[in-house]
């Protein structure tokens, strides 16, 4: 049977791999190579009888084509023009953005590497709004809180082209589903109207990730991301409009953005912006992120290389004492009488699904770890 299938694939011009599986039954699989284009050609040419194998719903879309600039958004500053690529922070240039980005390892799940591929390959889930609406409509859905931006930023610059977040917010609004967003980009203000509609029906909060106001530290660790001050202005605008918005100072990196000289101005500006919460998270180096960050450190801050190797010699996290030291640097500052967030109405309970704990209350933005 295997020989017959291989002969047919070869006759039709398909590239494939034979992969014996470590199962007791000695199962051997034949995997089609060439990604989605070859899979589509196979489906159209063979018309499989098993219906579940005749769909590409939920598959990641990617391309090897050379991309081009289709729109330009003023940054309020002059910068060199680079080839476009992406990172967790924003649509960026040829170079590394967020060298410490905790989302890097997830690129390997799609067959990419966490280094160069992470910097150059964009994966856009163009059907995300439709899939979300389908999931929210399931009777089994328990109305859990949906936190956007906890792995990859939903407001990367490519969002300016695809505008997927509008459909996502509409789905969450229509389902009155509790939700929150964490982002580095002021682009979220584009969808302020939808966020206000959500906040009128259920709990909604926003949080802007702002590791530092130090120009040198920002440009070295997050090149080509929105200016930190633009992010603070977004926090202020959200709070003025009635959306509870906070600031996440993350990651906190010893010797890079953890000095009082760097943190005090940021804390003061966050308070002035009406931030409803201010939190801090120490750098952690999980999986492939460690190698990428250490390579960047060796090139840009060799004076810190020995210190970081010692801090992270036991694993992805710094010692507890160091993490606690960094956490203490970020003092929680609550405005005694800041702008009041929009009062949400209790979310409608679904038949057969109990309401989620805490529905109808303003939710706090959780930390990433």
Three-class SS of residue 248? strand
Cα gap 102→85, rounded to integer Å: 17
In this predicted structure, which of 53-57, 268-272, 295-299, 365-369 has the lowest mean pLDDT? 365-369
pLDDT at 23: 62
Query: Between 194 and 116, where is the model more confident?
Result: 194
Which two tokens mark 205? 């909060």
- Identify the CA nearest to 281 among candidates 305, 316, 306: 316
For the chain, list the strands marked E by DSSP: 16-20, 28-32, 84-86, 91-93, 146-148, 179-183, 204-209, 244-252, 278-282
Residues 6+ apart with CB under 8 A from 26: 20
Q: Any idea what the Cα angle at residue 338 is, between residues 232 and 227, rounded to 5°? A: 0
Within a 13 Å sphere around the CA of 295, how many CA atoms are in the beta-carbon half?
Answer: 10
pLDDT digits (tens, 9 = 90+) for 321-331: 999 999 889 86
pLDDT at 39: 81
What pTM, to 2 d.p., does this model score?
0.63
Span 1-8, mean pLDDT? 87
pLDDT digits (tens, 9 = 90+) for 14-34: 898 888 766 666 788 888 888
Where exactly are the structural domains of the chain? Answer: 2-53, 128-329
Query: Between 97 and 45, where is the model more confident?
Result: 45
Cα gap 324→319, rounded to integer Å: 9
pLDDT at 104: 47
pLDDT of 148 higher than 90: yes
Q: What are phi and psi of 279, to 5 degrees?
A: -130, 165
How far, in whole angstroms, is CA 272 from its chain's centroid?
27
CATH architecture type of domain 128-329: Alpha-Beta Horseshoe (3.80)
DSSP readout, 265-319?
A: HHHHHHHHTT-S-EEEEE-B--THHHHHHHHHHHHH-GGGHHHHHHHTTTSSB--
Query: Between 86 and 273, where is the model more confident?
Result: 273
In this predicted structure, which of 3-7, 134-138, 215-219, 302-306 has the lowest mean pLDDT? 3-7
Q: What percent of the chain has pLDDT over 90?
A: 46
């Amino acid at each position: 049977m295997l020989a017959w299938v291989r002969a047919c694939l070869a006759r039709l011009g398909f590239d494939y791999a034979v992969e014996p599986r470590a199962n007791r039954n000695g199962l051997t699989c034949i995997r089609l190579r060439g990604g989605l284009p070859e899979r589509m050609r196979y489906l159209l040419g063979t018309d499989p009888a098993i219906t579940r194998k005749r769909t590409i719903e939920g598959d990641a879309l990617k391309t090897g084509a050379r991309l081009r600039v289709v729109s330009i958004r003023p940054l309020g500053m002059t910068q060199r023009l680079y080839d476009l690529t992406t990172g967790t922070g924003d649509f960026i240039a040829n170079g590394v953005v967020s060298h410490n980005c905790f989302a890097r390892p997830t690129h390997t799940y799609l067959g990419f590497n966490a280094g160069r591929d992470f910097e150059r390959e964009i994966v856009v889930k163009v059907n995300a709004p439709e899939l979300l609406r389908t999931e929210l409509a399931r009777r089994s859905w328990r109305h859990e809180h949906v936190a956007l931006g906890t792995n990859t930023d939903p407001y990367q610059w490519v969002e300016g082209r695809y505008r997927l977040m509008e459909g996502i917010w509409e789905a969450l609004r229509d389902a009155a589903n509790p939700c929150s967003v964490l982002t580095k980009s002021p682009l979220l203000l584009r969808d302020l109207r939808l966020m206000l509609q959500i906040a009128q029906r259920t709990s909604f909060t926003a949080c802007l990730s702002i590791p530092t106001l130090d120009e040198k530290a920002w440009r070295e660790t997050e090149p080509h991301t929105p200016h930190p001050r633009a992010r603070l202005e977004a926090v202020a605008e959200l709070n003025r409009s009635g959306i509870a918005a906070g600031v996440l100072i993350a990651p906190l990196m010893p010797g890079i953005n953890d000095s009082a000289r760097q943190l005090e101005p940021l804390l003061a500006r966050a308070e002035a912006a009406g931030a409803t919460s201010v939190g801090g998270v120490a750098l952690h180096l999980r999986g492939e992120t460690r190698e990428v960050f250490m390579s960047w450190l060796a090139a840009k801050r060799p004076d810190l290389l020995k210190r970081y190797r010692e801090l992270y010699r036991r694993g992805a996290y710094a010692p507890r004492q160091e993490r606690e030291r960094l956490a203490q640097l970020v003092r929680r500052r609550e405005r005694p009488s800041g702008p009041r967030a929009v009062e949400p109405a209790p979310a409608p309970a679904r038949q057969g699904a109990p309401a989620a704990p805490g529905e109808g209350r303003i939710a706090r933005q959780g930390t990433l770890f």
